[in-house]
Structure 1
């Protein structure tokens, strides 16, 4: 779970809270997240600047599909979500990482409710591409998702799509994945594992938690892709009692995701209906790709060696 609790609120209560806090908003910015419009309203100039660096720009004449209010009132951290209007109110947050994750969660909630011929689903995970073959890495926080993603991206024939969250479109003969953010929100300890990224980390303005927005076009010159066809999924765990690596059947992969709460601590709505939607999506996804379970109890290089040959050009 995340370090914050989400309170589902009514439209009436949302309006009351916004009436109390609305006068504190100083900055408004819209972002294009996979074609949907998310509006940030905040009193924090640093959040506004990170938001602009993090996400693609959306024209101001587009009405938002979701709104994120982030303001200070001198109290404790509190997160409200009103699911009808897809409005999230975040009080007294000092960490941009939660702001951007909640924005992605809000638009993910929108996509789950948006019915079309080819619905879109969100996954809290990373994707790299090699020669049109997409590999997703999905795991609970702390299992090494970012470490392995950037380990693969040291090689010049691997392309960056997303390192934290991606969107998926299920077609009759393929699963297509799409990037979610314009740039990457990297950690300062990335260079401790992969020295190749030392220079890039030094150029990033880091926040108090040692994280900051890095320009992926600088990190991976001409190796940034918007989409790929997903062929392989690597699920991550960290358990010394389990074997290091094995292939999974679709039902085994789904069981893992259910046990791990879909490896996503930023789900705004958790109820039986949403559980069914997410379960059906992953079941269909896992039947269309090869799925492996990697136990990251070995060194990062040893774990990397186990998966780098799964993706081929």
Structure 2
């Protein structure tokens, strides 16, 4: 006679094991929906599943606050050894760390890899009377406080630094360009929304965060901070071709908790590298204005360390830190 209790128990055990083997990874986007970190989590998470690199859909959790500091603190305190966790990050986050605005340094986390680099842009509302970068700079030179400029980082953050680099190359003195009114939002999308509502005059951010607004015609790119014109938006002039020799790239990548095992760490690096090599990622990245670039594992950890040193130097030069 069959023992249905044992059969049922075995079935439940098999289900439990199956659920464990296909446990869902989670990606924390340390900003509101619609921004660059949100795009990174959602796009990479979806492609990891679509390309069968992971066994279950990747859950995306938005955790805004402190330009990534809230998520960083949460992972350090509660999820340092979570093997299923990814956190989106970028040059913006590393700049904040370099300036001491996170609760700890880069050694608190394990840095997995970068899959591409976003391009910085300076944009205005499509109805703005500023048609060129020179128009914006002329107003700022005449009165540095006349045009409030917004971005997704605070004073001294990467979006702000890029705007100051442009002003500096345009011939503004340090005293003048430090007087530019800067407004911070948690993401490029909220900054553009406020600009369209007349709260600020221009936005310095990453193209990947606000590409949809460009595609819809709601905003105009005054300058792309890149070496060459962006393939997805070939009509947008670079700052360089307008006589302002400034580039401002923002890489997109991930870290995980600092206490995960080497096997877990290496496994995530391999998964992300596998995704990078797919045509699907190249197509999606390029469509959003990203330049596909891979750095992973120890090479990426070294790169992040070097970036922190570089950002600390720049921040001291503009007086953000001592």
Normalising by the residue count of structure 2, what TM-score does the alignment of the two structures yield?
0.23
Higher alpha-carbon Rg: 2
Which is helix-richer, 1 or 2?
Answer: 2
Which is strand-richer, 1 or 2?
Answer: 1
Structure ranking higher on relative contact order (CA contacts 8 Å, 6+ apart) = 2
